[in-house]
Amino acid sequence: MANYTPKPEHKFTFGLWTVGNIGRDPFGEPVRPALSPVEIVHLLAEVGAWGVNFHDNDLVPIDATPSQRDKIVSDFKKALADTGIVVPMATTNLFSDPAFRDGAFTSNDPKVRAYALHKTMHAIDLGVELGAKIYVFWGGREGTETDAGKNPLEAGKWFREALNFLSEYVLDNGYGAADGSGLKFALEAKPNEPRGDIYLSTTGAMLGFIETLDHPEMVGVNPEVAHETMAGLNFLHHVAQAWDRGKLFHIDLNDQGIGRYDQDFRFGAVNLKSAFFLVKFLEDVGYDGSRHFDAHAYRTADYEDVKAFARGCMRTYLILKEKAEQFNADSEIQALLAEITADDGSMDGFKGAYLAEKAAALKAYTFDRPALGRRGQPYERLDQLVVELLLGVR
Ligand code: GLT
Ligand code: MN
Ligand code: MN
């Protein structure tokens, strides 16, 4: 029986804003006292996490003086050194301050757009200083409630200009290189909340947008379980598309009911089966980035329960990883898969790249269409085996 203790090689990370969430929501006040960044680092070390990520203002308040900043950063560095916790990712808060009420890079106000660049350059400096290799862009306010006053074409151009500007900033400062080594950007899509509609609302939309940038090799995605799920989409399929394009730079793991507000629940808390297929995919393809839990403990939790929440995220991942290994080693499951994907070789001559002769031969071939249509697939049997595996009776 495996032991489900998190280890550095699992690359489990949490944001300062996740375990540090004080439980404020649109209907209620905070329920937990705020922890300092140093206390959060120690909490993460206690539960066995590998890394901590942050927004600039999770660490340094937006109105801190330079000397306050320096003190906060040096205390934080000491906590990292004392605990061995690392900082793999950093990001910018471009959504909390009232200045960003109409967005940041896509605000209609050119002063806000310039301020967003200014704030992000400082935040990139901070992230790099603390060791971050991935820089996330989540455009929570980049959108509209009404399309009456904001042109989506202009907004898209502004967003592109901002990312091009910031890519050059990274290159100019030697933080990253044009071959994609060093600091990289990861774009995180979300369909709505806090805006009525957010631009580039899915991971697929982000993947298309990335190819229009000046330095696409420096830019990938940071898909979040909750965000595709809110929209009723299949998260795994988006992750697979990102992986196929070499763009899965980071991933935000949590859980979410379809059609609900952004719940950010503990990983595996809602849909264990989807969580299983996701873990199996990440492990099978050899994803080696952070497994970042962008999740929040229930508002009912105290800090003991917050620790249980964080441990639960990691433990569920490791249990599902073990289940994925079992799936791959299960002879009955593998026999069904072999049956499903069986290939008698008779189509070999038609496979692969286009050739004129191949196309002509394929056009001339006579298929037994009724026989193709008679063939059933044992997906019911296979899926039931998956259910029994997950229920622990296999
Ligand atoms: C915010 C959001 C997350 C993003 C974070 C990064 S902040 O909590 O809901 O999905 O990943 O900006
Ligand atoms: Mn979310
Ligand atoms: Mn996220």
Q: Is residue 3 part of a domain?
A: no
Q: How many residues would you count in the chain?
A: 394
Ligand 3 geometric centre to CA of 223 (Å): 7
Q: Is residue 377 part of a domain?
A: yes
For residue 240, the model assigns a pLDDT of 98
**H-helix or E-strand spanning residue 304:** helix 303-329
- Strand 291-293 with 252-253, pairing: parallel
Give dist(CA 185, CA 137) in Å, integer: 7
Residues 362 and 272 both lie in one domain: no
Give dist(CA 92, CA 32) in Å, integer: 24
**Closest-lying ligand to the alpha carbon of 138?**
1
Q: Which of 325, 355, 373 corresponds to the end of one domain?
A: 325
Give buried/exposed letters for 21-40 (b at 16+ CB in 10 A, else e): bebeeeeeeeebeebebbeb
Query: Residues 222, 225, 226, CA angle at the centre, nearest 5°?
Result: 110
Residues 279 and 355 both lie in one domain: no
SS3 4: coil
Q: Is residue 65 part of a domain?
A: yes
For residue 3, the model assigns a pLDDT of 87
SS3 369: helix
Give dist(CA 261, CA 379) in Å, integer: 32
Q: Is residue 375 part of a domain?
A: yes
- Kindly report the protein residue whose alpha carbon is nearest to atom 6 of ligand 1: 138
Q: Which of 278, 310, 325 corresponds to the end of one domain?
A: 325
> From the alpha carbon of 252, which atom of ligand 1 is closest?
11
How many domains does the chain divide into?
Answer: 2
Give dist(CA 225, CA 293) in Å, integer: 10
Q: Is residue 1 part of a domain?
A: no
Q: For residue 143, which phi and psi values (nearest 5 degrees)?
A: -175, -155
Placement of tokens 């499903």 in the chain: 340
**55 has catalytic annotation:** yes
Ligand 1 geometric centre to CA of 392 (Å): 34
Q: Is residue 2 part of a domain?
A: no
Ligand 1 geometric centre to CA of 191 (Å): 13
Which candidate, 263, 361, 278, 362, places its Cα nearest to that of 323?
278
Residues 298 and 386 both lie in one domain: no
**H-helix or E-strand spanning residue 54:** strand 51-55
Residue of 14, 17, 142 to test ligand 1 pocket, by largest number of atoms within 8 Å of CB: 17
- Kindly report the protein residue whose alpha carbon is nearest to atom 7 of ligand 1: 138
- Kindly report the protein residue whose alpha carbon is nearest to atom 4 of ligand 1: 138
DSSP H helices in 245-302: 272-285
259 exposure class (CB count in 10 Å sphere: 0-12, 13-18, 19+): exposed
Residues 301 and 381 both lie in one domain: no
List the structure tokens of 348. Answer: 């070999």
SS3 363: helix
Residues 227 and 375 both lie in one domain: no
For residue 180, the model assigns a pLDDT of 82
List the structure tokens of 26. Answer: 């649109």
Residues lining ligand 1, CB < 6 A?
17, 55, 91, 136, 138, 188, 224, 252, 262, 294
The gap from C-alpha 214 to its chain's centroid, in whole angstroms, comes to 23
Q: Which of 325, 349, 377 corresponds to the end of one domain?
A: 325
Residues 135 and 277 both lie in one domain: yes
End-to-end CA distance of the chain: 14
For residue 1, the model assigns a pLDDT of 54
Ligand 3 geometric centre to CA of 381 (Å): 35
Q: Is residue 90 part of a domain?
A: yes
The DSSP result for 311-327, as a single string, is HHHHHHHHHHHHHHHHH
Give the mean pLDDT per block of 10 residues along the chain (394 residues): 90 98 97 98 98 98 98 98 98 98 98 98 98 98 98 98 98 93 97 98 98 98 98 98 98 96 97 98 98 98 98 98 98 98 97 98 98 97 98 97
358 exposure class (CB count in 10 Å sphere: 0-12, 13-18, 19+): middle
The parent domain of residue 368 ranges over: 331-390
Residues 51 and 112 both lie in one domain: yes
For residue 59, the model assigns a pLDDT of 98
3: left (phi over 0), alpha (psi -120 to 50) or beta: beta
Torsion angle defined by CA atoms of residues 7, 13, 17 and 19, in that order, rounded to the nearest 10 degrees:
-30
Q: For residue 87, which phi and psi values (nearest 5 degrees)?
A: -115, 95
Residues 91 and 236 both lie in one domain: yes
Q: What CATH number has the domain bearing residue 53? A: 3.20.20.150
Residues 203 and 346 both lie in one domain: no
CA quadruple 243, 249, 251, 252: dihedral sign? negative
- Kindly report the protein residue whose alpha carbon is nearest to atom 12 of ligand 1: 138
**58 has catalytic annotation:** yes
pTM to 2 decimal places:
0.97
List 56, 58, 255, 264, catalytic entry: 58
Q: Is residue 292 part of a domain?
A: yes
Residues 147 and 169 both lie in one domain: yes
Give buried/exposed letters for 46-68 (b at 16+ CB in 10 A, else e): ebbbbbbbbbbbbbbeeeeeeee
Residues 186 and 263 both lie in one domain: yes
Residues 276 and 383 both lie in one domain: no
List the structure tokens of 65. Answer: 């003086």
